[in-house]
Structure 1
Amino acid sequence: MPARIIDRYDHVPVTKESLDWAELITLDLSQYDQPGGKEDLVRQLEHAVRHVGFFYVKNFNITQDEIDRQFALGREFYALPLEEKLKYHSSKDLEVGEYNGYRPAGHRVLGNGIKDNVQVYNIPKFDGYHTRQQPPVVADNIQEVEAFSRKCHTEVVEKLLRLFAILLELPDEDQLVRDHQYDIKGEDHLRYMHYAARGAEENEKVGEMYIPGHTDLGTVTLLFRQPVAALQILNSEGNWKWVRPQDGTITINTCDALTALTGGFIKSSIHRVHVPPADQAHVDRLGVLYFARPNNHVVLDPITNSPLLNRLGLTQNVFTELGKHLTTEQWVKVRQTQQQRRNKEATVSNDGKFTYGSKDLEIIPGLQAKIYN
């Protein structure tokens, strides 16, 4: 039988509320192949990755129709009955740091008896090492999903990796690309993410947060334009700012593995998911994201052949200071195990600060995850 026709995805209107928007640079990737274009992009990028960890890209050779198809597939998946989605969920997998497949909402208690409102469906990259059964809505469109996943990598991630290499003055601008090859075993994945709207009373009990302040664990995260405002970043002045959903852009944030590889030179962006503004607070929020990570065998020690890092004396990171030399595979496993742990609920203060027990935040002995309030 032919696959069922999936209706187009229509985005909800943007908020009309007056919000305190972050001022972020936008990299025009149409400059990338122009003479001197990469160097010009690096000059624009440097401040963002050192001080904020967030920026936009535009003209990235993925059409809006291709993006909207992924939103439509995500919508169709989340419209399935819970018992159908649970066929692709394993609580035992989550306990040992395996995160691909489905995670239902309510897996963790945030605080004051309120459970999380986030559903996640992760589709691993198509490197031949992560074969999984997929629900029919994904399986029937798997070639399209793979093509989109690969485009995220080649059209965006690899270009950014070359810009980072130029910034770090590496002798070969493909050095980081070789550590992030799509067809080599790694933990990259495409994600459909669903936040269910909550009532005002529940939101108040958890400080108006869907997800408190945190960093991502990989290299870069790609967030495709999401018109329901909720993402906030902590800027270099220590203030939380809303991230505006700009037409024709992907929001990019830099992450922990890239910070480790650069000895802290490139900032791992601090962000959170706030309750949407009043005119969108009743709307469920659907996201399409791509998470890029170094290949599994890559050791997350600071890069040794960067003249820039050596001049700055950035030869250690949080792992090496503990005498650890973690591979990406080891890092992902311990971090995901900590993230997915069924923790005791946080204490949430009246002003929305989350406080967890130390064991809930322990990743490895001597290293704790941080919650940014």
Structure 2
Amino acid sequence: MPGKIIDRYDHVPVTKEDLDWAELITLDLSEYEKPGGKQALVKKLEHAVRHVGFFYVKNFNISQEEVDRQFALGREFYALPLEEKLKYHNADDLVKGEYNGYRPAGHRILGNGIKDNVQVYNIPKFDGFHQRQQPAVLSDNITEIEAFSRKCHTEVVEKLLRLFAILLELDDEEQLVRDHQYDVRGEDHLRYMHYAARSAEENKKVGSLYSPGHTDLGTVTLLFRQPVAALQILNSEGDWKWVRPQDGTITINTCDALTALTGGLIKSSVHRVHTPPADQAHVDRLGVLYFARPNNHIVLDPIANSPLLNRLGLTQNVFTELGQHLTTEQWVKVRQTQQQRRNRDVKVSHDGKYTYGSKDLEILPGLDAKVYN
């Protein structure tokens, strides 16, 4: 029997509101293979990764049709009845830091008694170590999903890793690529993410946020163009700026594991998800993302053979300062366990400041997660 025919995905119109947009650089990956192209891209990238943590890439060899097909598959998954989606959810797994599969909305209290409005479906990379049952709408299209996942890695992630290696003055620009091999056990995953529109009254109770300010835990996150404005970044001046949905781009942010590997040189970007502007506030927001992480066995100590890090004295990080030498697998487990913890009722002040209960933010003894609000 042939699978269900999936209708084309039509993106909603962009906002017409006059928002305070962030000024972010765009890396043109068509320059990558040209003579001197990688060096020119590194020169453009350096300020962004050291001070902002966000940038765009374009011309990344994944067609808009391929991207829209993933949005369509995400739409079809979220259109399933809740009882069907819940077959791919395991609350006990979340407690243990296992995050693949489905997480329903309302798993956590966002603040002032309001539960989160986010559904997540994570598809682990196809490395042979993460066998999972998928709903029919996805299993019928799993070959195409795998191809997309692999292209995210080879066409975007690996190219960025080589640029980071050049920035770090490593002798071998393949060094970081070897630490992020797709077919070696790791925690990379593709995500379909759904934010349900909320009432103005509920939004007000949680400081008009869908998700408070935070950093991601891996190497880089790829966010495919999302026309419902909601993503905001915290710039170096301490101001929140909206991230514009630019045609034909992926928004990239750098994350905690990369910050650890570079002794803090590369900034783990601080971002949050705000309620959309007035002309989009009634629209549900669907996202397609790819999360890249070092392979599970990689120890997240600062890279010892980087001339740049050694010259700058960046030989410690938040883990090593606590006497910890965490592998990626260990870091993902403790961080995800903290993130998925059913926290106590968080308090949100009238001006949007979040206050958490004791231990809600503890990742390890001596290391707490930061909420930037």
TM-score tier by shorter-chain length is over 0.9
Partner of 1:158: 158
1:12-59: CA deviations, max 9, x gaps?
000000000000000000000000000000000000000000000000
Instruction: Report whether the alignment pairs 1:146 with 2:143.
Output: no
The residue aligned with 2:214 is 214
Task: Look up the match of 1:90.
Answer: 90
> Where do 1:129-278 residues align within 5 Å?
129-278=129-278
Q: Secondary structure at the match of 2:50?
A: helix
Q: What SS does the corresponding residue of 2:57 show, helix, strand or coil?
A: strand
List aligned pairs for 1:61-100, cutoff 5 A.
Answer: 61-100=61-100
Q: Distance in 1 between matches of 2:355 and 2:172?
A: 44
The structural deviation recorded for 1:112 is 1.1
5+ residue gaps, structure 2? none
Matched residues in 2 for 1:264 and 1:241: separation? 23
The one-letter amino acid paired with 2:127 is D
> Which residue identity lines up with residue 162 of structure 1 in the other structure?
R
Matched with 1:344 is: 344
Partner SS for 2:11: coil
State the 1:345 CA deviation.
Answer: 1.9
SS at match of 2:173: coil
What amino acid is the match of 1:312?
L
Deviations 1:158-211 (A, max 9, x none): 000000000000010000000000000000000000000000000000000000
- 1:358 shift after superposition: 3.4
> Structure 2: how far apart are the matches of 1:250 and 1:301?
29
Q: Distance in 2 between matches of 1:143 and 1:164?
A: 31
3-state SS, counterpart of residue 16 of structure 2: coil
Q: How many residues align?
A: 373
- Aligned equivalent of 1:38: 38
Q: Which runs of 5+ in 1 are unaligned?
A: none
Aligned mates of 1:47, 1:4 — CA distance in 2 = 46
- Name the Cα RMSD after superposition: 0.3
Opposite residue 47 of structure 1, the aligned amino acid is H
Give the equivalent residue in structure 2 for 1:112: 112
Give yes or no for the alignment of 1:56 onto 2:63.
Answer: no
* CA distances 1:211-256 after superposition (whole Å, capped 9, x unpaired): 0000000000000000000000000111000000000000000000
Tell me the residue number matched to 2:14: 14
SS of residue in 1 equivalent to 2:278: coil
The alpha carbon displacement at 1:347 in A equals: 1.0
Alignment partners' CA distance in 2, 1:212 and 1:143: 35
Q: What amino acid is aligned across from residue 170 of structure 2 in structure 1?
A: L
Partner of 1:283: 283
Structure 2 CA distance, aligned partners of 1:46 and 1:237?
Answer: 18
Letter in 2 for 1:203: N
Deviations 1:279-322 (A, max 9, x none): 00000000000000000000000000000000000000000000
Q: Cα distance, 1:355 vs. partner? A: 1.1
CA deviation profile, 1:244-271 (whole Å, cap 9, x unmatched): 0000000000000000000000000000
Look up the SS of the partner of 1:287 in the other structure.
Answer: strand
* Alignment partners' CA distance in 2, 1:4 and 1:359: 46
Q: List 4+ stretches of structure 1 deviating above 2 A.
A: none
State the 1:346 CA deviation. 1.2
Q: One-letter code of the match for 1:323?
A: G
What TM-score do the two structures reach when normalised by structure 2?
1.00
2 CA distance for matches of 1:22 and 1:336? 29
Of 175-184 and 355-364, more deviation after overlay is shown by: 355-364
Which aligned pairs between 1:324-335 and structure 2 lie closer than 5 A? 324-335=324-335
Give the SS at the match of 2:279.
coil
Normalised by the size of structure 1, how large is the TM-score?
A: 1.00
**Structure 1 residues 336-359: Cα deviation after superposition (integer angstroms, max 9, x where no partner):** 000000000211011001111230
What's the counterpart of residue 364 of structure 2?
364
1:171 aligned counterpart, secondary structure? coil
Distance 1:358 1:260 in 2: 26
2:321 corresponds to 1:321: yes
- SS of corresponding position for 1:92: helix
In 2, distance between residues paired with 1:257 and 1:16? 36
